[in-house]
Amino acid sequence: MKKADKYKELFNKEYLMGPNSVRLLEEMLEKYPLERGTRVLDLGCGKGLTSLFLAKEADVNVFAADLWISATENNIHFNEWQVSEKIIPIHADANDLPFAEEYFDAIVSIDSFHYVATQPYFFEQKILPLLKTSGVAIIAMPGLKKEIHGNEPEVILEWLDGEESEYDLFHSREWWLNHIGQSDKFEVVMNFDLESFDVAWNDWFLSKHEFALHDEKFFAKGIGQYLSIVGLVIRKV
């Protein structure tokens, strides 16, 4: 049994905000485990499920930061789950994080990095300074199997149609590697497309959240053939 299955009762429309972040995080940590007792920033923690998993299953000390969900709301969750002694909730913008440089052993970002990191030099300027030497960024985010910008299938445009389309946030793993670039300050130690793509999306559909029902309708129309979950592990040198 997967560790994520321990938390199935929380995989519902109250807590999920997209493809199941706990499933994605579990796969990332299977591929790159964290050392117990280390200090971890959960960047874009949503309603706290990834922070719960980090505290309970990875046994690390977590700073749970999100812009959309208040620290007070997440603190209620952490108290209910009896993990408040290991998690500090923070309400913060990823572009203006209130932490000292070289403060974290690891920064984890599951299903959130793409919302902020398409701007030039975001990783090097906003994330890297917060990591200790040899610290790692562990990232999993929805993306594309290959770049299709300029030749967008109608079903993708229809799926993301709206006043604030998210289409420009979706990119391939190769695009992200090129965008983050190369530097003597860091090295990409792992990059892959996650195997938990199907189960993470299916958990989201089963939640019956109104946005999940919207996504499920377009998966039935075939958008899944274009999408992936991009996984990156980047170590500070």
pLDDT at 168 over 90: no
pLDDT at 227 over 60: yes
pLDDT at 45 over 70: yes
Q: For position 163, what pLDDT does the model report?
A: 42
Q: Tell me how crowded residue 119 is: count the other CB atoms within 10 A of its CB.
A: 11
Q: How far apart are CA 60 and CA 41, in angstroms?
A: 10
Find the mean pLDDT for residues 39-62: 98
Q: For position 166, what pLDDT does the model report?
A: 74
Q: For position 164, what pLDDT does the model report?
A: 47
Q: Which two tokens stand for residue 32?
A: 């790159």
Q: For position 157, what pLDDT does the model report?
A: 85
Please provide the average confidence, as pLDDT, over all residues in the chain: 95
Q: How far apart are CA 237 and CA 219, in angstroms?
A: 40
Find the mean pLDDT for residues 182-186: 95
Q: For position 68, what pLDDT does the model report?
A: 96
Helix (H, G, I), strand (E, B) or coil at 113: helix
Amino acid identity at 228: S
SS3 readout for the chain: CCHHHHHHHHCCCCCCCCCCHHHHHHHHHHHCCCCCCCEEEEECCCCCHHHHHHHHHHCCEEEEEECCCCHHHHHHHHHHCCCCCCEEEEECCCCCCCCCCCCEEEEEEECCHHHHCCCCCHHHHHHHHHEEEEEEEEEEEEEECCCCCCCCCHHHHHHCCCCCCCHHHCCEHHHHHHHHCCECCEEEEEEEECCCHHHHHHHHHHCCCHHHHHHHHHHHCCHHHHEEEEEEEEEEC
Q: How far apart are CA 145 and CA 35, in angstroms?
A: 31
Please write the tens of the pLDDT for every residue from 107-158.
Answer: 999 999 999 999 999 999 999 999 999 999 999 999 999 998 778 888 988 8
Domains, in order of start, for the chain: 3-236 (3.40.50.150)
Q: Which pLDDT band holds residue 214 (cuts at 50, 70, 90)?
A: very high
pLDDT at 228 over 60: yes
Q: Which pLDDT band holds residue 165 (cuts at 50, 70, 90)?
A: low
Please write the tens of the pLDDT for every residue from 198-211.
Answer: 999 999 999 999 99
Least confident among 94-98, 101-105, 147-151, 206-210: 147-151
